[in-house]
Chains A and B, each alone.
Chain A
Amino acid sequence: MEYVIAFVVGGIICVIGQLMMDLTSMTPAHVLSTLVVSGVVLDSIGLYDPLIEFAGAGATVPITSFGHSLYHGAMEEMKQHGLIGVMTGIFEVTSAGISAAIVFGFLAAVIFRPKG
């Protein structure tokens, strides 16, 4: 059941992205930026955590969760260090994702040849 919910919720988020691309003339970069910002907004009004609770990876794998993690990191550090924490904590949670993308992306450029 867990897998079905993850599939459906993740699929729906991707459908929203697809519709934004098809119905408006937004480029993928505009769509992804919009989704990240909506992740931040949804989290700041307290709606994204219940969604993760409900959908698991269906909510943590789409790019919206990147915004959610950025906001979460900032708020966690803010509780410990006050206003400065908003700056120092912003990449706290997303560090794994960005580091992985940079390291693996670089290694891929070293190892592989461009296709096509």
Chain B
Amino acid sequence: MAGSSTRQQIQLQIQQEKYKQLSKKYVPRPRYFYNVFKAFMVGGFICMLGQGIQNLYIAFFGFTEKTAGNPTVATLIFISVLLTGLGVYDRIGQWAGAGSAVPVTGFANSVASAALEHRSEGYVLGVGGNMFKLAGSVIVFGVVAAFLAALLKTLIQLFLGGVS
């Protein structure tokens, strides 16, 4: 009796292995080059748009090359949130992959779409509580890394006698 049950187990394992191999054949492979091309085009276009907005701020609102970055980012965020609200940005995102996720517009998109999605749970618990559900990890890791890096640099400068 014991022998037959182990034999059954072995047969089951063989079947599972076969199934794994079979299913692997049908899982679609990501089309690397096409994905890279799409990410490059969309990401590049968003950055070029940013460059245009930055030049507008420099030419018409008296910002300098150094200070124009902030209003540019804010403007891009506004555009991105507007497109998210209209349902356009998510459609772009499905096509562009990282091309629309990596620029700062992707950050704004994740904030706005989380806020929209949880609106039905109320403004405090839904919108307020879930707004940074996706973007939160970016802020947390960015702040912790910046803190550690700045602390390290400060300590090194202190010990080497104010080389700043």
Contacts and interface: CB of A to CB of B under 8 A. Distances in A.
Interface in A7-31: 7-15, 17-23, 28-29, 31
Contacts of B64: none
B36 A18 contact: yes
A100 B97 contact: no
Given A66-B138, A67-B145, A105-B81, A115 B90 contact: yes
Nearest to A111: B85
A115 B77 CA distance: 19
Interface residues of B, number: 78
Given A70-B143, A104-B112, A60 B77 contact: no
Given A12-B40, A44-B149, A32 B137 contact: yes
B70 A17 contact: no
A61 B98 contact: no
Contacts of B35: 18, 22
Contact of A58 (B51, B115, B117): B51
Given A18-B98, A63-B138, A97-B74, A3 B52 contact: yes
A14 B111 contact: no
B117 A114 contact: yes
Contacts of A35: 102
Interface of B: 30, 32, 35-36, 38-48, 50-55, 69-74, 76-78, 81-82, 84-87, 90, 97-99, 101-108, 111-112, 114-117, 119-120, 123, 127, 131, 134-135, 137-143, 145-147, 149-154, 164
Interface of A: 2-3, 6-15, 17-23, 28-29, 31-33, 35-37, 39-41, 43-44, 56-58, 60-63, 65-67, 70-71, 73-75, 78-79, 83, 86-87, 90-91, 93, 96-102, 104-109, 111-116
